[in-house]
């Protein structure tokens, strides 16, 4: 620093004054966002001063930062990951008894909404009446992978994510469990645990449902805007190749969904495919992208472009479009097949209100509550007896194939193949190269 002062001390008083005035001028010019050209002498003297100042400031900064950067090199996880079979998750202190709250993160448009007030959710309000627990409901999950990467740093560092309950799709559960990021449930808080449908009670990603409770189940299908195309769309192949849809197609950013569609289009089975099939699917998607067919790879926000009419055809989650209630926005089960999936509530490590969250899981496992929820969101109930409850609640909904799928739809629906976490990471990485 002293060098800067010294350089200002050289020269005649008049030069010094000039340099000083120049520095002030520049400061003023910079403040006004202007850069003013000045005479060569001024510029030179000012430049010398400023350069040495800059140099000294930079050196000082380097010294401080150098010390800090050594410490910053590399980060260690708070805990080593353990095999999924042994994982129990890491419990924090449970404040459930004193804090009657649950911080619940879910996907957009995935819960019932009061017809008079869109900020009210009747099922959550009933839960509050019964238990006195307030649910802070946030719709901040737009994409499984993106959400996982958001909470990952906190969980890896052994910190609370600020969430007590999150909803993740089937294929993410092994990843969360392998890293030991979700907690084992206390089944004594969930007496309705036995209410799950037989299909949902024993899933490969969580046998016996010790860590997760299903929220809803559905299909990945196609939706189109009947006002904007004359010929209805019936197949996945059309989605990827039909010329009149160029630049009007939205695919999912979610690897599982779009790969499954490409596999269907190639005549493969998403429930049973090889690495070669996967690579062929990637190439198929790349081809459509290069041809300008694809307008966007979207998360759950695909609906905004679709309702504005910017995308004419989109991959869609089965209930979403029906829930919009617009008659010219049609949902189609593609003839090649559709992907079937289920979403699961789980409790991340160090959640402050684990017991409360378990109470909410238990609440949604009641047939009547599940019927009320699924009647609104148009997804498939995961609770035994919910369909019967739905018949008394809303007879028309019970005949809606999106909520109660027919044998025909179930026949072509496939679940995504169960893959190891390492495989999932490899596939996700490859898929990211096509989308970004």
The answer to whether the CB of 314 falls within 8 A of the CB of 249 is: yes
Give Cβ neighbours of residue 392 (< 8 Å, ≥ 6 apart). none
| Shortest distance, position 244 Cβ to another protein, whole Å | 9
- Separation between Cα atoms, residue 159 and residue 214, nearest integer Å: 25
| Contacting another protein within 34-93 (CB under 8 A) | 34-38, 42-43, 46-47, 57, 60-62, 64-66, 68-69, 72-77, 81
Within 151-180, the residues that bind another protein by CB under 8 A are 152-153, 156, 179
Say whether residue 140 binds another protein (CB under 8 A).
no
Q: How far apart are CA 227 and CA 225, in angstroms?
A: 5
| Span 283-312, contacts to another protein by CB under 8 A | 289-290, 292, 294-297, 308-310
Compute the distance between CA of residue 295 and CA of residue 304 in angstroms, rounded to an integer: 13
**Cβ contact 255:423 at 8 Å:** no
Which residue's CB is nearer to another protein, number 100 or number 246?
246
Angle at 215 between CA 110 and CA 186, to 5 degrees: 135
Closest by alpha carbon to 180, among 87, 93, 92?
87
For residue 81, the minimal CB distance to another protein (Å) is 6
**Closer by beta carbon to another protein, 9 or else 116:** 9
Site for another protein in 318-377 (CB under 8 A): none
Between 12 and 93, name the residue whose CB sits nearer to another protein.
12
Question: Which of 138, 149, 392, 406: binder of another protein (CB under 8 A)?
Answer: 149
| Closer of 61 and 208 to another protein (Cβ) | 61
Task: Count Cα neighbours of 161 within 13 Å in the Cβ-side half-sphere.
Answer: 29
For residue 177, what are the contacts with CB-CB under 8 A and spacing of at least 6? 84, 87, 205, 206, 211
Annotate each residue in 1-40 with x if it binds another protein (CB under 8 A) or - if it does not, as one string: x---x--xx------xx-xxx-xxx-xxx-xxxxxxxx--
* From 82-90, 147-155, 210-218, 361-369, span contacting another protein (CB under 8 A): 147-155
Binding-site size, another protein (CB under 8 A): 75
Structure tokens at 243: 């010329």
């Amino acid at each position: 620093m002293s060098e800067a002062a010294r350089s200002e001390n050289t020269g005649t008083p008049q030069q010094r004054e000039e340099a000083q005035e120049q520095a002030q001028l520049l400061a003023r010019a910079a403040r006004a966002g202007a850069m003013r050209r000045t005479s060569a002498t001024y510029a030179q003297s000012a430049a010398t001063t400023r350069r040495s100042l800059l140099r000294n400031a930079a050196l000082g900064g380097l010294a401080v930062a150098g010390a800090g950067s050594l410490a910053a090199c590399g980060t260690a996880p708070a805990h080593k990951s353990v095999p999924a079979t042994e994982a129990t998750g890491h419990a924090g202190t449970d404040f459930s008894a004193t804090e009657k709250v649950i911080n619940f993160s879910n996907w957009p448009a995935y819960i019932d909404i009061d017809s008079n007030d869109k900020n009210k959710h009747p099922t959550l309000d009933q839960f509050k009446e019964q238990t006195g627990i307030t649910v802070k409901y946030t719709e901040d999950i737009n994409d499984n992978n993106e959400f996982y990467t958001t909470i990952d740093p906190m969980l890896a560092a052994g910190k609370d994510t600020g969430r007590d309950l999150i909803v993740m799709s089937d294929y993410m559960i092994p990843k969360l469990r392998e890293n030991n990021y979700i907690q084992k449930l206390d089944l004594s808080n969930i007496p309705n645990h036995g209410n799950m449908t037989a299909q949902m009670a024993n899933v490969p990603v969580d046998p016996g449902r010790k860590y997760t409770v299903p929220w809803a189940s559905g299909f990945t299908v196609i939706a189109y805007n009947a006002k904007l195309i004359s010929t209805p769309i019936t197949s996945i192949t059309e989605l990827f190749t039909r010329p009149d849809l160029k630049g009007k197609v939205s695919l999912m950013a979610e690897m599982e969904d779009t790969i499954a569609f490409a596999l269907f289009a190639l005549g493969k089975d998403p429930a049973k495919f090889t690495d070669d099939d996967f690579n062929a699917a990637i190439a198929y998607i790349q081809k459509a992208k290069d041809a300008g067919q694809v307008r966007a790879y979207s998360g759950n926000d695909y609906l905004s472009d679709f309702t504005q009419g910017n995308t004419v055809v989109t991959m869609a989650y089965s209930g979403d479009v029906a829930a919009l209630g617009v008659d010219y926005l049609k949902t189609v089960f593609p003839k090649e097949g559709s992907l079937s999936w289920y979403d699961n509530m789980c409790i991340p490590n160090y959640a402050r209100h684990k017991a409360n969250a378990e109470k909410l899981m238990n609440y949604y496992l009641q047939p009547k509550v599940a019927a009320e929820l699924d009647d609104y969101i148009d997804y498939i109930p995961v609770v035994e007896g919910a369909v019967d409850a739905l018949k008394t609640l809303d007879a028309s909904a019970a005949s809606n194939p999106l909520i109660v799928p027919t044998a025909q739809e179930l026949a072509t629906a496939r679940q995504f193949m169960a893959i190891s976490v390492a495989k999932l990471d490899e596939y996700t990485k490859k898929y990211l190269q096509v989308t970004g």
